[in-house]
Amino acid sequence: MTTESRPGLRERKKQRTRDAISDAAITLFVERGFNEVSVAQIAEAAEVSKRTLFAYFPTKEDLVVHRMADHETESARVVRARPAHTAPLDALRDHFLDGLRRRDPITGLNDMPQIRELTQLIFRTPALIDRMQRFRAGGERALTEALCDTTDAPELVARMASVQIIAVQWALSMENFERLISGETADARYPDAARSAERAFALLANGLATVG
């Protein structure tokens, strides 16, 4: 009756429940603000018990930020998957620029209403910003390892390079977020965003001494 590749009913139900909870949460948060909605209200809206909600998401913050979890190790993956004879930094720059072109939400350059609302929610809520920073730390660790494994740079250099790169990517994304929040469209912002990214990566490559 069920094909061999399809997960069982149990797994499908779990996924549906998980989505129901997350959707209810984000809808309510966007509507009324993170602190103005209680987890009890979310559980009620998703038609599950509070206890079940916490079985799927360990904290209230995770109801929102779990959607970003995939991106945690993105930079590390890009470095590992880069073509031979390509410098890590070049691969990362190209990937970021491609993200801008594709309007990847992670670059801050996506102005679709749902994504914009989610972004604003996060940036208006200190507790959520804090939580995002934890992903950043994880991303730094993963990138450091990727650099160590795929280049012959000493560990200190890998660590420093990695924190610099993540910091710059983060700052570029933040800048784009802010512009979009203040009303600019993604298409209008794109040319400057791309130029900024190119300059920022050039700065990473060539060093701060070049600007006095």
Contacts with DNA by CB under 7 A lie at 8-11, 13-14, 17, 37-40, 47-52, 54-56, 58-61
Extract the tokens encoding 46. 């998703």
CB 58 → a copy of itself: shortest distance, Å? 12
Residue 203 to residues 63, 112, 140, 147, 198, Cα–Cα distance (Å): 37, 31, 19, 19, 9
**Contact letters (x/-) for a copy of itself, 123-152, by CB under 8 A?**
---x--xxx-xx--x-------------xx
Q: Figure out which of the listed residues 40, 112, 171, 188 binds a copy of itself, where binding follows CB under 8 A.
A: 171
Q: Is 24 in the site for a copy of itself (CB under 8 A)?
A: no
Which tokens sit at 152? 């012959």
| 72 contact, one of a copy of itself, DNA, none, CB 5-8 Å limit per kind | none
Supply 15's token pair.
Answer: 């996924």
Contacts of 10 (CB under 8 A, 6+ apart): none
The site that binds a copy of itself (CB under 8 A) totals a number of residues, namely 39
Q: Quick one: angle between helices 186-206 and 155-181, nearest 10?
A: 160
Amino acid at 5: S
Cβ atoms of 89 and 166 closer than 8 Å: no
Which stretches of the chain bind a copy of itself, using CB under 8 A? 87, 89, 126, 129-131, 133-134, 137, 151-153, 156-157, 159-161, 163-168, 170-171, 175, 196, 199-200, 203-212
